[in-house]
Structures are given as structure tokens and as C-alpha cells.
Chains A and B, each alone.
Chain A
Amino acid sequence: MSIVVSNLQKSFAGTRVLDDVSFDVKSGELVGVLGPSGGGKSTILRIIAGLDTADGGEVWLDGKRVDNLHARDREVGFVFQHYALFRHMTVSDNVGFGLDVRDEPRDKRDARVAHLLDLMGLAGLGDRYPSQLSGGQRQRVALARALAPEPKLLLLDEPFGAVDAKVREELRRWLRKLHDEVHTTSIFVTHDQDEAFSVSDRVIVMQKGRIEQIGTPVQILDHPSTEFVTRFVGDVNVLEGTVKNGHAEVGPLTGPLIDAIPDGPARIVVRSYDLKFWREDPGSATVKRMVPLGDRVRVDALTDQGSPLFAYFPRRSSLLDGIETGCRIHVEITLARAWPA
């Protein structure tokens, strides 16, 4: 199902949550809506599903305007942030609900439920109640329930927000795999950039009810179009500096700019992986702390001008040779972005 959303406006009690939001999603696409909490992301999904009404703007599903269509007639599957499973029904009855309300023949219904439970890795749990399941299992029941009536569009509101990190990682990979098999057009909302980038075909970055950028994960990572996106996406160092002849200058440090801006004072934004450190005396900075993080090491340093910097390096990498807490280093900025101060 293709989706066109145009000029959506929405306010709650005088606070604007959506400000002129427009985008479209092609049939079969998996799109992530990424942004800080409270940025209006969930409201978009709720309006597309018909659970909320917009103050202005239009929603078109498959070329048909649906603003006056009730939620139950939109054929949109919705996975709620806190699952909203029917607590008094078994897992099977939860999953079968969307089929039961349209009087699907019993044998077809049972077959579909069994198939979905199998697909979701929930086989054997059909007779349990939601309260007897783990967070990850509940999440998959919610997904199975939403998929059962074969919706043409699947909307997921912070789908993995309430499960722990390990399970989240697993569910992400699994959602992508599911999408590649089922091809249901899907939009999901998240405040977690890893989640958005690892699962989506395209990402919509939002802030304060406005769309900041729409693009593929690579486009957004490599060519952020606003300062907000630059700072929100990836771990960044933000430094006060100047731009001169297409180069960023921060004290004695200089680095090439990916997108040139006019000369003058600027905020220089450097990704944590666009920095190189090596041991050098006298050098230009001091290593303050080294934090091992599994496969990576985070190195915190302080420049002689007093700016804190951090960078990640692969553990046991030659880039880390000789670097230790308290040593003097030289810093090289390999790539920077700048925004006029």
C-alpha cells in the first residue's frame, strides 16, 4: 500500500505536535521515523491509522483519501508501544481476534493463527495468557496479531522500546527479515538511531513536529541536511571554531569540510569516527580516560584549548598503539561539518 501524507497539522491543548508534515511511502517500503521523544512521531502513526484526527492536512492510502474513514475500515495493522494485548485472552485468541471479528471460518482462522505463531517463534505458547509471557514474546504476539488480518500497511509505535537491549537487537534483525519475506508496507517509530538505520529502507528524521530530513540511512549519515540531524545522528563532538577557505579550524586543529560554508565563526561538528589520535609529545591534547566497550574503546581527550573530545577505535587496533591514559597526543580531524555560529 502506498501512503501519501500531506501538510499534517496537529495540536494538543495548544501545543503544536505536528507542523506541516508531508512525506510519502512507496508500496512495500519499510520506513523508520526517527527523532527525540515527544517529537510528534507517534501522532503521525495514530493519524494514519485513524486513532487520532489531524487538525489539518490529508492522508491518502493507495490513492484514496482516508481522513473520514474509521480506524476499523482502514485495513491498517498497528503495533502499540506497550503491546495493548487483550489481557483476558490467550495468545491464540489475541492473534485470532482480527479474524474472529470478521467471522473467518474456524479452520482457516486456526490455520492462520498456527502459521503466524510458528513464524513468530511462538509455537507452543498459544494457550498462555499475555501476563505469562516475557517482553519479547509479548512484542511478537502483538506483531502476529496485527499481521493476522493481512493488513496492507503495518504501523509500529516504538516497537522495541520496552524490551531489554539484547532482545531488542534480535527483534530488529527479525523484523527486517520478516519484512523481506512478507513485504507489507511498514512504518515504524523509534528514538533509537541504530534501530532506524539497521531496519529501514528510508528514514524520516523529525524534531519538534517538523521533518528535518528524509533519506536512506547512508544519505542521512553522510549528508545530514540540517545541524539538528548532524548532531542527532551518530556520536558527535561539537566544537567552537572558524571556517577558512573551506577548512574547519579549531585552535591548532584543522580538518576538511564535507560541505563548504562561507568563512567565519562556526560550530564545527566532528563524528567520533572522523578523528584520529596518535601519541606525540608535545602534541595538542591529553588523553583523560579510556573506556573499553566490548569491540570498541572510547578515548576521551582534552585539547590544550580546553575542548573535550572523544573518539571510538576498534579494540586492539593499531590506531590505539601507545595511547594510554595521561599521555600526550596529536589530533587529526579527517572530516568535519560546519554550521555558521
Chain B
Amino acid sequence: MRSSSRRVPDRYAAGPLVAVLGYVACLILVPLAALVYVVAAHLSEVVTALLSGPALHAMGLTLAVAALCVVCNGVFGVAGALVLVRQRFLLRRLVDALVELPLALSPVMTGLGFLLLFGRTGPLGPLLDAIGLRVAFAVPGVVVATLFVTLPFTLREVALVLEEIGDSEEQAAATLGASPWQTFWRVTLPNIKNGLVAGTVLTLARALGEFGAVLVVGGAIGNRTETATTFIHAAVESRAEPAAYGMALLLGAAAIAALGALQWTEKKR
């Protein structure tokens, strides 16, 4: 009796398990495998295409923008999470909701908004002209667009950890004579390390993969504002398949590496 009653849940579990595995395979593994297969079949053409000037420029720009976003939104995310979680102020709830807006907004819409703001005829146009800075259809535009779409990740992850650990350790540090800076470096930062790592990985993945906003604001001008994703788009449009597949696989590999790093640090804890 006992053994048969124990086998029932197993049989039940088999159905959903197959379904989940099948779903994951169809949506994630199969396209990835197809990409790997195509790239492997045309390896020399792919390598040549990826070593071309525009391809290298696009990769360099993407990496530089992603790094900048990780640093800027890392610092802002930690500071913002501390303010939102630890301080009470007017309109806190509103600000709390506002910083998550980039998650919900369509990047194309966001890009259009920035274009209206920074364009020649936009409200900031004259000011930018006066100081000789071009944002729209220039690298600063790509940076601003990517900063915007990656803003919530670190902040959210760090805020979650801050909520969870509470502020008693920080209070203990204060009663022991620690200054706010000492408390931050010695107590708060080590405690939020995991959230910071997770936020950084998500920021990085999103910055590498952002397409809509950088296309609209940056204009995807080859050798200037073209990023890895907009490079792929242009390559597909001009039927340069090896370049498109090669760059796509590179982006995929970078994202997988980032998630792998996240899993690894989580396991280490």
C-alpha cells in the first residue's frame, strides 16, 4: 500500500516535467542550437564578417555602453535603494513606482521620447547646440537610452535585499560609534553584495541586448552609433547572414556567461 501510494505523485509529476522540458527546449534550446549549427557550418565566413571594421566597432560600443551602465546604475541603484527603503519622505511610493517604469515601457516608445527631448527641435535642442553636444543620432544618445532601460535592475535587487535584512545591523553599528560611511562600507555593502551582483548581471544582460531604444535614439549609423543588436538588424536587412548569425551567437554567449556567473555566485553563498 505504502509503496504504491508513494508512486502516485511520481506518475503525476512526469506529465508536467515533460511539458516544461519540451517548452524550454522548443523556445530556448532549439533556436540556440540552430544558431550554433549555422555558425559552425559557415565558420570562416562568420569570422571574417565579425572581424570587419563596423562589426568590431559595434561590439566595442556595446561593451563600453554596457560597462558604463553597470557602473552608473550600480552606484545609482545602491544609493536609490537605500533612500527608497531606509528613508521616509513625501511621494516615496510614487518614486518607488516610477523607477520601475522602464521595465514596463516599450523601449521604442522610450527612444522616441528621448528623440523628442534631445532632437534639434526638442526643448533641450538649443541648449545642447549651445554647448556643442549631440545626443540624438550620436553615442551619448545610445548611452542615455541604455541607461534608462537598465535603471531598475540593480535598484530592485538591492532594495529587495535591504528589505529582507532590515536595519538592525545598521542601528547596532551606530550605537557602536560608526559613522554613516563606516556603516555603509563595513556593514551595509557586504550585506547587499548578493543583490548587487544579481543586479549587475541583469543590467549587463539588458544593456548588451537592448535594441529598440538604441535604434530610435542612436539611429544605428554604421561605425558610429551601431551597437551589436542594431548591427544584427542591419546585417539581416542587407542579407549578410554570416555577420548576423555570428554576432547573434556572440550576444547569446555573453548573456549565458553572465547568467552562469550569477548562478555560480548564488551557489557559492
Task: Tell me, in angstroms, the Cα distance from A76 to B176 when the chains sit together.
Answer: 8
Segment among B77-85, B106-114, B178-186, B220-228 that sits at the interface with chain A: B178-186
Interface stretch among A95-103, A203-211, A234-242? Answer: A95-103
Give the number of chain A interface residues (Cβ < 8 Å): 29
Q: Is the CB of A72 within 8 A of B171?
A: no
Cβ of B121 within 8 Å of any chain A Cβ, yes or no, is no
**Contact (A97, B174) CB under 8 Å given A72-B179, A80-B168, A84-B168:** no
From residue B161, how far is it (CB to closest CB) to chain A in Å?
12
**Interface residues as binary, B166-178 with A (CB distance below 8 Å gives 1, 0 otherwise):** 0011011111111
Query: At the interface, yes or no: A87 with Cβ under 8 Å from chain B?
Result: yes
Interface residue from B178, B186, B187, B191 paired with A72 (Cβ < 8 Å): B178
Kindly supply a per-residue 1/0 record for chain A positions 52-92, scoring 1 wherever the CB is within 8 Å of any chain B CB and 0 otherwise: 00000000000000000011111111101010111111000
Cα of A25 to Cα of B173 in the assembled complex, Å: 25
CB B173 to nearest CB in A, in angstroms, measures: 7
With beta carbons under 8 angstroms apart, the residue of B169, B173, B182, B186 that contacts A87 is: B169
Q: How far is the CA of A101 from the CA of B182 in the complex (A)?
A: 7
In the complex the two chains form, what is the Cα distance from A88 to B187 in whole Å? 8
Q: Is B190's beta carbon under 8 Å from chain A?
A: yes
Q: Does A149 contact B (CB under 8 A)?
A: yes
Q: Contact between B177 and A101 (Cβ–Cβ < 8 Å)? A: yes
Residues of A within 8 A of B177 (CB): 72-73, 75, 98, 101-102, 149
Query: A243 near B: Cβ within 8 Å?
Result: no
Could you tell me the distance between the alpha carbons of A85 and B177 in the complex, rounded to whole angstroms? 15
Bound Cα distance from A99 to B191, whole angstroms? 20
Closest to A70 in B: B174
* Alpha-carbon distance between A50 and B185 when the two chains are bound, in angstroms: 22
Query: What's the minimum C-beta distance from A47 to chain B, rounded to whole angstroms?
Result: 13
Q: Which residue of A lies closest to B189 (CB)?
A: A88
B168 touching A72, Cβ below 8 Å: no
User: Within 8 Å CB of B187, what residues of A?
Assistant: 86
Interface centre among A50, A51, A72, A82 (most CB of B within 10 A): A72
**Nearest A residue to B175 by beta-carbon distance?**
A78
Select which of A76, A87, A102, A145 is within 8 A of B191 by beta carbon: A87
Chain B: CB-nearest residue to A71 = B174
Complex Cα distance, B174 from A75, in Å, reads: 10
| Minimum distance in angstroms from A61 CB to a CB of chain B | 13
Least Cβ distance of B167 to chain A in Å? Answer: 9
A97 near B169 (CB under 8 angstroms)? no
Chain B residues engaging chain A, CB cutoff 8 angstroms: 165, 168-169, 171-179, 182, 186-187, 190-191
5 A-B pairs with CB atoms under 8 Å apart are A51-B174, A70-B174, A72-B174, A78-B171, A97-B173
Known A76-B175, A77-B175, A87-B191; 18 more pairs at CB < 8 Å: A51-B174, A51-B175, A72-B176, A72-B179, A78-B171, A80-B172, A82-B168, A84-B169, A86-B169, A86-B172, A86-B186, A86-B187, A98-B176, A98-B177, A100-B186, A145-B172, A146-B175, A146-B176
List 5 tightest A-B contacts by C-beta distance, closest first: A98-B176, A84-B168, A78-B175, A84-B172, A101-B178
